[in-house]
């Protein structure tokens, strides 16, 4: 009997082999509440207990799977885990080897959303400084959405009405369910690689919180953050918010609103151009009138200058003629004065005296005739070398 006994290690190994060979236990989904959660920072492994109202099971999630989670599990969080069942031989207990954790219920989804939001916000993925302005007049629009959804029809309708000149390229996506996040990521990667669109719309209609959960994917957020084309997020209704909304360059409350943000209204532009043409024509006419008036004024100034130049020329000629006549007049007057002066000099008694004659004065006046002299008149005789006083006899 003792010879047939096996060791504890052999027993645990045998039990593990039995469990590992079970097809059902290789992949199970288990719903429960997390408790006793521990994250070993050095290794990156997660250890916790999954429990419900009656039972519990030990669980482990290794780093390779844990780093793909969009949130950090917490005690009290209701989740559904994807796992395989096996035995930890050292302790002889079976446990869950978890490959994925899905929040179960709105509370858990909200917690996962807030955790991821805080993480990406700290990294700067939501910063306004990294967000790019939209192209004002896009020639090509990229759209990632369900080909059969109302969101696509809304976008096509609004774009055709507002900006029919734009080319639209559609990447058909799954926008709900387990495959939706990966499907949208592939669309982002496709348009990022092409990089020939002016704006990129990621859209789907409204839905429950769980329906929109795929747009809270961390890999999707990072793919959008690296996309070279400006992205507009148009997921759900106006009150719905996803991680995609925060990382996108712009958020629209609805797919229709996204299309209105992406393209201008061609009617408004036509009206603007018409108003601009009218204003431009009015301003050009006004400017031409001003320049015409300035030209007329300049022409008048030029005519006045020409008139002034002619008058100055006439004045110069008159001035020259005046001074020439004046010089002639002065010269004639000088000659006449000289002649008169010569004549006066000839009549000057003193000039006669100088030639050897004498002049007789009576009472200070020249005595012209001897008859004018009476006896005993006192006379003055002036000669060139002196005067003689005498009395007439």
What are φ and ψ of residue 237, in 5° steps? -95, 180
3-state SS of the chain: helix, strand, coil percent to 5?
A: 45, 25, 30
pLDDT tens, position by position, 31-69: 999 999 999 988 999 999 999 989 999 999 999 999 888
Instruction: Give the strand pairing for 93-103 and 56-61.
Output: parallel
Q: What is the pTM of this model?
A: 0.55
What's the CATH class of domain 2-104?
Answer: mainly beta
Instruction: Provide the pLDDT confidence category of residue 165 given band limits of 50, 70 and 90.
Output: very high
The residue ranking higher by pLDDT, 269 or 210, is: 269
Note the pLDDT of residue 351. 63
Note the pLDDT of residue 346. 61
Note the pLDDT of residue 260. 96
Counting residues of the chain whose pLDDT is more than 90, the rounded percentage is: 49
Q: Is 90 exceeded by the pLDDT of residue 3? A: no
Q: Is 70 exceeded by the pLDDT of residue 352? A: no
Instruction: Give bridge partners of residue 389 from the DSSP assignment.
Output: 380
pLDDT tens, position by position, 74-94: 898 889 999 999 999 999 999
pLDDT tens, position by position, 269-322: 888 888 888 888 888 888 888 888 888 788 777 766 766 777 777 777 777 777
Helix axes 150-162, 255-262, angle to 10 degrees: 30
Q: Where are the domains of the chain?
A: 2-104, 122-264, 268-339, 350-391
Length of the chain: 393
Q: Is 70 exceeded by the pLDDT of residue 254? A: yes
The residue ranking higher by pLDDT, 343 or 132, is: 132
Specify the CATH architecture of the domain 122-264.
3-Layer(aba) Sandwich (3.40)
Q: Is 90 exceeded by the pLDDT of residue 252? A: yes
């Amino acid at each position: 009997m003792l010879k047939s006994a096996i060791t504890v290690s052999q027993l645990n190994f045998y039990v593990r082999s039995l469990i590992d060979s079970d097809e059902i236990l290789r992949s199970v989904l288990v719903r429960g509440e997390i408790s006793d959660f521990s994250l070993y920072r050095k290794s990156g492994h997660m250890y916790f207990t999954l429990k419900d109202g009656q039972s519990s099971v030990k669980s482990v999630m290794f780093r390779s799977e844990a780093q793909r989670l969009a949130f950090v599990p917490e005690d009290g969080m209701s989740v559904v885990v994807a796992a395989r069942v096996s035995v930890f031989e050292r302790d002889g207990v079976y446990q869950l080897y978890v490959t994925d954790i899905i929040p179960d219920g709105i509370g858990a989804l909200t917690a996962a959303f807030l955790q991821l939001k805080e993480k990406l916000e700290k990294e700067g993925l939501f910063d306004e400084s990294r967000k790019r302005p939209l192209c004002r007049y896009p020639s090509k629009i990229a759209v990632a959405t369900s080909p059969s959804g109302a969101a696509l029809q809304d976008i096509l309708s609004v774009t055709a009405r507002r900006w029919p000149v734009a080319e639209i390229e559609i990447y058909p996506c799954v926008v709900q369910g387990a495959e939706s996040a990966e499907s949208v990521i592939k669309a982002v990667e496709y348009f990022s690689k092409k990089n020939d669109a002016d704006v990129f719309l990621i859209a789907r209609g409204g839905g429950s919180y769980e329906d929109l959960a795929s747009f809270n994917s961390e890999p999707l957020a990072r793919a959008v953050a690296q996309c070279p084309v400006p992205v507009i997020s148009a997921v759900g209704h106006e009150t719905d918010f996803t991680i995609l909304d925060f990382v996108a360059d712009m958020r629209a409350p609805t797919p229709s609103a996204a299309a209105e943000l992406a393209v201008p209204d061609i009617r408004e532009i036509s009206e603007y151009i018409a108003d601009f043409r009218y204003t431009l024509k009015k301003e050009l006419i006004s400017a031409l009138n001003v320049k015409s008036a300035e030209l007329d004024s300049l022409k008048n100034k030029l005519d006045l200058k020409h008139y002034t130049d002619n008058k100055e020329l006439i004045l110069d000629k008159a001035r020259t003629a005046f001074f020439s006549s004046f010089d002639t007049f002065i010269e004639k007057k000088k000659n006449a004065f000289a002649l008169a002066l010569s004549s006066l000099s000839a009549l000057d008694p003193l000039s006669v005296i100088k030639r050897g004659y004498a002049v007789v004065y009576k009472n200070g006046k020249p005595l012209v005739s001897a008859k004018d002299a009476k006896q005993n008149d006192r006379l003055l005789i002036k000669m060139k070398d002196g005067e003689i006083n005498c009395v007439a006899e």
